[in-house]
Structure 1
Amino acid sequence: MPCLVRENLFIGNISDAAEILEKGSSEITHILSAVSSASISFFTEWRSSLVIPAKEIRQVFVGDLDDGGDDCWSKSALSPDKLVYNLEYVGKELKMVRMAVALKDTDNENLLDYLEVCLDFIEESRKQGCVLVHCFAGVSRSAAIVTAYLMRSEQLSLEAALESLRQCSESVSPNDNFLEQLKMFEEMGFKVDRGSSKYKRFRLKILGDSYNRGERLDSSKFGVDPGLPQEVASKKPETSLHGNLNSNVAYRCKKCRRVVALQENIVDHIPGEGMTAFQWHKRNGGNSFNKSDDFGCSSIFVEPLKWMKTVEEGGIEGKLSCAHCDARLGYFNWSGSQCNCGSWITPAFQLHKSRMDLSTV
């Protein structure tokens, strides 16, 4: 039986959902399915005798969300043609509304980019009726989504939300990958902030994992080329946390002055331990690294950008040269690279400050 988490909110497994879809329910009016396939046929594949009437309302892809004016989706780790969710009427007399997202319970699945549409659906469903959130076993995927909902709606930490959920359903246990993403969700202020450094690092990790699995590089997920006039002109000043408008810092090729990166393209990293991190240059006497001796990182690390043709060509590592004058600007390596501060960045798209000038756009 589904477990009641909050008023008008249940969590369950595929058997719970199948029984409700087949026999109907006096309580449940909405269902959120988080299983490996968004199609209603998944239930038939699981149990061949099960026949569930369904009528599609709409399918929503990442590109559809872009067309709707939500520019942040263009910075999503999902490809433009990726299905975000499927919405349909289901069950007896087609009176129930079901949202389905295709999620796998694996250590490399991207949960973050599906979270907010799921949480919005839960919120609206609770206002209109009663919603069941389910995955296959009711242990990991559905638990991760409901935990995120409790975090956002009640401003709870990951630990507090998960403990609260376990008081309702003892078996819930999101996998470690989902827990890491939920921690990021908390650190981003209970939202998916695609402009934050945390999300950028996550997005890079998704690209790196895809590359390491031997999948074709999806260059549509590369950042726009800031050297193209129309791209620079379309950029609007961003508001800082303090409410001030910040001019956008631009990094230009020192030789030809072409813009090669903007401040928003930078993927921040935590400074390492300086020269002590390089064993072949380790200081004598065992003195720890003193950050006051540090002159700052000699490079910036950025997201992959569309002017980086050598990256798009698929090599594991190589030079990064200016798209206009071919001057060498840096180096990339999908396996990672170490900054002079000692920090290791994976994957690494490294531009040397000595080969660039700073300006504003």
Structure 2
Amino acid sequence: MSFLSQLQKQKNKLKETETVVTKVDGKRYIEKDTTVTAISSNSYGFVVDTKPDNVPVLISHYLYIGSQDCTAQEVIQSYNILHVLSLGINIQVSVNSKFIKCLDLPETSIKDILLDSLPFIRKAVDAKENILIHCNAGVSRTSMVAIAYLMHYEKMNYQEAYELVKAKRPAIQPNDGFKKQLKSMTPGEII
């Protein structure tokens, strides 16, 4: 029996499967054999979190991180936040702010993001004024910049910076592309 016929025989023994695929835009599809069928549902394709995440976490002197919920006026006032760095989500706040375009995708290059954001953060810290770094959920983009800040200005290696930020805000998780780029950085240098 030829190798090809052995493979075909084994293929016939395989159990039929169905895979649900969620695209970046949240649309869901079912893949079965060679057919793809769109799922028409009211689901978002991701978990919708309806509870507020409005407690910023102090990572280092004057440096807070959190989700977009932390940009509420009452939160900014109660934590005496005077500067806000918004990553990928442009929110209007009543304090000094900076918006930086940043997609939470593994292929996003972080070099320009860091060159633009780290001096803004450092200026606030040097002035001994509280600054909040946030993105939508305060998980990937926010942690990437906070970790890079610690690596650059506190001269920590990736693992030390990651563990510090993770200990303060357990929800953080930079995407795999961000992690790879951060790990390639030398402490004290921006890429």
After TM superposition, the score normalised by the length of structure 2 is: 0.65
Correspondence 1:192-271 to 2 at 5 A: 192=191
1:111 shift after superposition? 1.1
Determine the C-alpha separation between the residues in 2 that align with 1:23 and 1:157: 31
Tell me: CA distance 1:23–1:165, structure 2 relative to 1, closer, same or farther (3 Å). closer
Partner of 1:180: 180
Partner of 1:190: 189
1:98 shift after superposition? 0.4
1:190 partner amino acid = E
Partner of 2:19: none
Partner of 1:28: 81
Tell me: CA distance 1:23–1:158, structure 2 relative to 1, closer, same or farther (3 Å). closer
* Contact 2:111-2:190 at 8 Å conserved across structures: no
State the structure with bigger RCO (CA 8 A, min sep 6), 1 or 2: 2
* Contact 2:102-2:141 at 8 Å conserved across structures: yes
Determine the C-alpha separation between the residues in 1 that align with 2:76 and 2:158: 34
Determine the C-alpha separation between the residues in 2 that align with 1:165 and 1:24: 21
* Contact 2:70-2:76 at 8 Å conserved across structures: no
* Contact 2:64-2:131 at 8 Å conserved across structures: yes
Partner of 2:36: none
Determine the C-alpha separation between the residues in 1 that align with 2:75 and 2:161: 32
Determine the C-alpha separation between the residues in 1 that align with 2:107 and 2:84: 25
Q: Does 1:155 align with 2:155?
A: yes
What secondary structure does 2:186 align onto? helix
* Contact 1:134-1:142 at 8 Å conserved across structures: yes
Q: How many residues align?
A: 135
Determine the C-alpha separation between the residues in 2 that align with 1:178 and 1:101: 16
2:57 partner amino acid = C
Gaps of 5+ in 1: 44-51, 53-89, 193-361
What secondary structure does 1:110 align onto? coil
Task: Give deviations 1:81-121, integer Å, cap 9, x for gaps.
Answer: xxxxxxxxx41xxxx11011010111211112210221111
Tell me: CA distance 1:33–1:162, structure 2 relative to 1, closer, same or farther (3 Å). same
Partner of 1:15: 69
Tell me: CA distance 1:158–1:124, structure 2 relative to 1, closer, same or farther (3 Å). same
1:186 shift after superposition? 2.3
Tell me: CA distance 1:143–1:24, structure 2 relative to 1, closer, same or farther (3 Å). closer
Determine the C-alpha separation between the residues in 2 that align with 1:149 and 1:175: 17
Determine the C-alpha separation between the residues in 1 that align with 2:139 and 2:75: 24
Partner of 1:164: 164
Task: Give deviations 1:312-333, integer Å, cap 9, x for gaps.
Answer: xxxxxxxxxxxxxxxxxxxxxx
After TM superposition, the score normalised by the length of structure 1 is: 0.36
1:153 shift after superposition? 1.4
Partner of 2:141: 141
Task: Give deviations 1:279-336, integer Å, cap 9, x for gaps.
Answer: xxxxxxxxxxxxxxxxxxxxxxxxxxxxxxxxxxxxxxxxxxxxxxxxxxxxxxxxxx
Gaps of 5+ in 2: 1-54
Determine the C-alpha separation between the residues in 1 that align with 2:163 and 2:76: 31
What secondary structure does 2:59 align onto? strand
2:69 partner amino acid = S
* Contact 2:57-2:169 at 8 Å conserved across structures: yes
1:167 shift after superposition? 1.4
Tell me: CA distance 1:172–1:23, structure 2 relative to 1, closer, same or farther (3 Å). closer
* Contact 1:112-1:185 at 8 Å conserved across structures: no
Determine the C-alpha separation between the residues in 2 that align with 1:137 and 1:161: 20
2:142 partner amino acid = S
Larger radius of gyration: 1
Determine the C-alpha separation between the residues in 2 that align with 1:3 and 1:23: 12
Determine the C-alpha separation between the residues in 1 that align with 2:148 and 2:113: 11
